[in-house]
Chains A and B, each alone.
Chain A
Amino acid sequence: MTTLLSSDTGEPRSLLRSYRTLPGVFDEMMTADGLIRPHWRTFIDSLEAMPEHELADRWRGAARLLHEHGLTYAAEPFIDGPSRPWQLDFVPALMQAGEWRALEAGLIQRARLINAVLADLYGPQRLLRDGQLPSALLFANPHFLRPCHGITPRRGPFIHVYAVDLGRGSDGRWWVLADRTQAPSGVGFALENRIVLSRCLPELFRECDVERLATYFHASHLSLVDCTERENPRIVLLTPGPSSENYFAHAYLARYLGYSLAEGADLTVRDNRVYLKSVDGLKPVDLIVRRVDGDLCDPLELKPDSTVGVAGLLQAARAQTVTIANALGSGVAEAKALMGYLPELCRLLLGEELKIPSIRTLWGGDAAQRAEMLASLDRLAVDSAFKRRPMLARSGGVLAGVMAEPERRALEAAIVRSGHEFVGHEVLTLSTTPTWVDGTLMPRPMTLRMFVAAHGDDYIVLPGGLTRIASTADPRAILLQRGDGTKDTWVLADKPVSGFSLLRTPLSYVEPKRTGKDLPSRAADNLFWLGRQAERCEDRMRILRSVLRRLTEDPAPLQDIVALERALSVLTGVSQWMTWRSGERTHRVAGLEHQVYALLFTPDHAQGLMEPLAELRRTASLVRDRLSLDAWRTLSRLQSDISERSPQAMAPDNGFIAGDTLIMLDDALRLLAAFSGMEMENMTRSHGWRFLDMGRRIERAEHLAKLMQSLLLHGSPEEDGSLLLLLELADSLMTYRSRYLTTPMLPPVLDLLLLDETNPRSVAFQLVALRDHVDQLPRDSDGEVRSREQRLTLALSTELQLAEVGDLYAADATGHRGKLADLLERIVLGLPQLSEHITGSYFSLGEARRPADL
């Protein structure tokens, strides 16, 4: 189809009013004559039909979604600091099916070609022996992993996933800017962009007949399964861990595909076989989807100081007991130096002409190319011949033409001395695509990362990709850098699209089975602490809220101040309530207010609220591949609520506005309740849930016992408001009132909060639950002998079951309740011990490997 429809046949287009193509630059949407290309028509029309305020609402909704998903391109989600929020432009890049199919064919060919090159370089090296490839091109490449030579995959290709960065030149042709063959990143981000965008523009998404992404992932998964030659293979996604800038995408992809997310320390090699260290013991791993650079994967045979690898992995790969996708060493094919040789290699290895050209690239290792490079240096961008840059780093090298003279001379000298380290490549004038800037559409330069996956003996291409845009209008390829935006990429179908989606059915759950992913010891450890920290936050918020409420609402009776001081002392550990003299009231209320303020707002206060909140955030981010999106968003909202509202609640001179603070705490407690509700209602009763719940129960029981020690063992609890406060802190006031209809008395309170197994807030309930959990945990012996954990929980829960309220209530002549004190003491001492036993039995497998430094 060649006829183009004019953009101004109808009403003046508000969104396109100031849209102008740049001279000599290809624009994706508009021709040089200002006509809209036909495949953009539906999208633009629908967008313009939308009222302006609605458009703004949609954008805001999408921004919130992105924020709540915690989409960042760095270590820590949730917070500002080193991590940067992911920039998504809400106008997708559009591509016609016909054009996409041409790229698809070219990329499949290129994947085949690179696979054939890798098979030769890590095998017979005929390309070097026959002189088709300069041997220096291989031997000078730091990504050539010599110990991997001779390792061939038992089945399947060297590269299972492959990504290509493309740019469209001013002539409208696509050029390959870079190949990514090691552990291509970005597909997780592409997926997330699609989810957010299809949710915020659902009708546009439908009207435009956008090709779906899910089939690609499904086919890629089946192909991986096929390589293992096992029916139900164990697949892990190997990540460098939370310190990696792509950790978010790793966790996201692992959850989407239903693979276990594993760090190097979660895996071990025994007898040439890779195992996952799970709470169930060692589980054989059949396939590793690798997101760790090859040279870091095995400290034994590769870089010895790597802390993210698996010692012995190469031996397992050599023995072909595990499939690694991509094969170790495949990073060698990312070298820009290789690009200029691909057309010839394509003819030689595939007997075909290369379908998509690479951007013209000269390698300084070859004398003739070096001379040409030096002669035309001003027109070239100079880049490393072998090294790769992070996905969003300044890409495309430096422009020699704009360098100062001394630097330019230094660069020339370096090229003369070690030419093999450099390539010079042509500078592409990138195409522009409409981008949302200040409420309207403006042209911005773009590159496109496309993804290819092995499928049987061949490859398939993701119908979409990650479009990246520059923040300025400068169309030179080299100016795409960090901090610039991304777009979803829509391939517009010319026939109806299939609605297949994986989102609700992770792949490994396709076959009905009752257990999910294995639980690595490290993940169990983090879930356990997630449970503890969530409960700890709740406990502390409850104390702070109750104290604050009593201080600000009706003036508290004098003796109640003592109860408040005792409750706070559970947090602070300071016991200054023992004496009470009249006339001190104002002084002591001020003291309490000061303490509450410090506990609420002081950053990193170990006894306060901020530390458990920070820990909650940290542990949640470590297991986010195991949390539902809703659970994650709830925690995300909790964090942002508190960080946004704390400053408002804080008044000058270290005071605070009690009303705002109370509302903030009420809302925060509701979010925590929502989180624990999801945990109870939405998590399958797997080991992962068990560890999370055990963490919560241990924390709750210990806290409750400490509260009782503080409020019930001193003074006269039945008179000073302690019982009421205790019932409130234990969230059991309603239950008490419905049962007893009296002012609180100690014996029924003891029964309800200590001994009543039906009250989910009682100590007994926690211990019975802990006993059941511990009984269900995997054990070495066959249940013949009770484990330490079993003995401890059995002892404590039995003691509570056998206790008599009357005995506990009985006091001696001085008013001391010896039996109650002893019981509480045993609980307070026993629970940390239980925590230690669980750590020793289930988490220590995850202990970090120490490089031997031999």
Chain B
Amino acid sequence: MLYDVSHRTTYRYSIPVSFSHHLLHLTPRPGERQLCHRTALTVTPTPSRHVAAKDYFGNPITFITLQEQHTDLVLYARSTIEVQPSTILDPAVTMPWDRVYDELWHDPSESGLDAIQYVFDSPYTQATAPVEELARKAFTPDRPVLAAALDLTRIIFETFTYDPTATTVSTPLDHVFMARRGVCQDFAHLQLACLRSLKVPARYVSGYLLTRPPQGRERLIGADVSHAWLSVWCPPFGWVDVDPTNNLVVSHEHITLGWGRDYGDVSPVNGAIFGGGAHTVAVSVEVAPISDDR
């Protein structure tokens, strides 16, 4: 599938900003199933400095510095992305989850080192006792890791209600846990904490969903805005993406921006500004399929 992805973020400040630094995760990350044919990031006003780089996790990032006084800041990212569907995997052949960490401990290979760094608590995911209890509903002894992970995805989908008014970026996980509601980012963090409480490596994925579904299909939850889901380490297949907000294995309707331990590692816009006062922010995301004959 070929997509035209556009992501516009508009900040409006009550007092002019005289100087600011930003770190942006707004460029889609190329991967095995994802090709970036074209990508462009336009910033208004024009930054005095605009530098592309990669972060520790290998995600494309952009540093910008604005020295011109401004009250409005517009970040407009537009990309043409091709996504291949994922292959169907048999959960039953994956490794029993309770062996995964021990295997990794003794595996200093590139992929082993990549996986084990996602086992531990991170600022947004704390493996508390109630979190572990929830995880154990799906993770019974000897169960293949992907089978258990899919079951957990279903449990979270069924137990928690999608409610954009319930939480903000800074709502702590135990609050989400108590209220039984939240948004895609909260569900991803919750499932990450569950998996990590059992030492199953899992990473946070930031990205987008197809805005308008193909005919005959329902619109997925979380389109129109940035979306988030997670990848689970499932030997022998490696990383498998699951989406607890929609209870599915990720295929070609998800576009990946990047990944890390949690939201903090890949938040789309991070900034430090001078002046500014109060601010409002508006985000619009559009993911439109491009017909193949074009």
Using a CB–CB cutoff of 8 Å, the interface residues on chain A facing chain B are 125, 128-131, 134-136, 139-140, 146-147, 149-150, 268-271, 299-301, 304, 311-312, 315, 367, 417-418, 420, 847, 849-852, 854
Contact = CB atoms under 8 A, between A and B. Distances in A.
Given A135-B112, A300-B22, A851-B272, 18 more contacts: A129-B113, A135-B108, A136-B119, A139-B116, A139-B117, A146-B57, A271-B49, A301-B23, A304-B267, A311-B21, A311-B272, A417-B132, A420-B120, A850-B275, A850-B276, A852-B270, A854-B11, A854-B267
B238 interface: no
Interface in B58-77: 63, 65, 67
Contact of B117 (A129, A131, A135): A135
B274 interface: yes
A147 B56 contact: yes
A3 to B, nearest CB: 55
A136 B105 CA distance: 7
Contacts of B22: 300
Contacts of B141: none
B158 interface: no
B264 interface: yes
17 contacts: A128-B108, A129-B113, A131-B106, A136-B105, A136-B120, A139-B120, A147-B56, A150-B56, A300-B22, A304-B267, A304-B270, A312-B65, A367-B105, A851-B272, A852-B279, A854-B11, A854-B267
Contacts of B272: 299-300, 311-312, 849, 851-852
Nearest to B54: A150
B20 interface: yes
B89 interface: no
A315 B21 CA distance: 11
A37 B243 CA distance: 72
A850 B56 contact: no
Counting contact residues on chain B (CB < 8 A from A), the size range is 35 or more
A124 to B, nearest CB: 12
Nearest to A298: B272
A854 B127 contact: no
Nearest to A131: B108
Contacts of A367: 102, 105
B269 interface: yes
B281 interface: yes
Contacts of B275: 847, 850
A845 B274 CA distance: 10
A140 B49 CA distance: 35
Given A134-B105, A269-B21, A311-B21, A139 B119 contact: yes
A249 B65 CA distance: 35
Interface in B10-59: 11, 19-23, 48-49, 55-57
Contacts of B279: 852
Contacts of A139: 116-117, 119-120
A849 B56 contact: no
Contacts of B19: 268
A417 to B, nearest CB: 8
A288 B277 CA distance: 30
A263 to B, nearest CB: 15
A312 B47 CA distance: 15
A138 to B, nearest CB: 8
Contacts of A268: 19
A300 B23 contact: yes
Interface in B105-130: 105-106, 108, 112-113, 116-117, 119-121, 127
> Which label, helix, strand, loop or mixed, suits the secondary structure of the B interface?
mixed
B271 interface: yes
A850 B273 contact: yes
Contacts of A147: 55-56
Nearest to B201: A139
A714 to B, nearest CB: 44
A126 to B, nearest CB: 10
Contact of B108 (A130, A140, A850): A130
A269 B63 CA distance: 13
Nearest to A421: B121
A304 B170 CA distance: 12
A854 B120 contact: no
For B11, B48, B105, the residue with the greatest tally of chain A CB atoms inside 10 Å of its CB is B105
B118 to A, nearest CB: 8
Nearest to A309: B272
Contacts of B264: 304
Contacts of A129: 108, 113
A849 B17 CA distance: 11
A854 B170 CA distance: 11
Contacts of B56: 146-147, 149-150
Contacts of B132: 417
Contacts of A128: 108, 113
A300 B127 contact: no
Contacts of B11: 854
Nearest to A418: B127
Q: Which 9 interchain pairs have the tightest Cβ spacing?
A: A311-B272, A852-B271, A146-B56, A139-B117, A140-B120, A311-B21, A131-B108, A854-B269, A852-B273
Contacts of A315: 63
Contacts of A131: 106, 108
A304 B265 CA distance: 11
Contacts of A852: 20, 270-273, 276, 279
A617 to B, nearest CB: 30
A271 B47 CA distance: 12
Nearest to B120: A140
A270 to B, nearest CB: 7
A180 to B, nearest CB: 24
Interface in B248-286: 264-265, 267, 269-276, 279, 281
Contacts of B55: 146-147
Nearest to A138: B117
Contacts of B265: 146
Contacts of A417: 132
Given A271-B49, A312-B21, A854-B281, A300 B117 contact: no
A131 B107 CA distance: 8
B108 A300 contact: no
A849 B113 contact: no
A213 B121 CA distance: 43
A732 B22 CA distance: 59
For A125, A146, A269, the residue with the greatest tally of chain B CB atoms inside 10 Å of its CB is A146
Nearest to A148: B56
Nearest to A140: B120
Nearest to B261: A146
Contacts of B63: 315
B271 A300 contact: yes
Contacts of A269: 21
For B23, B117, B120, B272, the residue with the greatest tally of chain A CB atoms inside 10 Å of its CB is B272
A851 B275 CA distance: 10
Nearest to A312: B21
Contacts of B102: 367
A557 to B, nearest CB: 58
Contacts of B120: 136, 139-140, 420
A850 B274 CA distance: 6
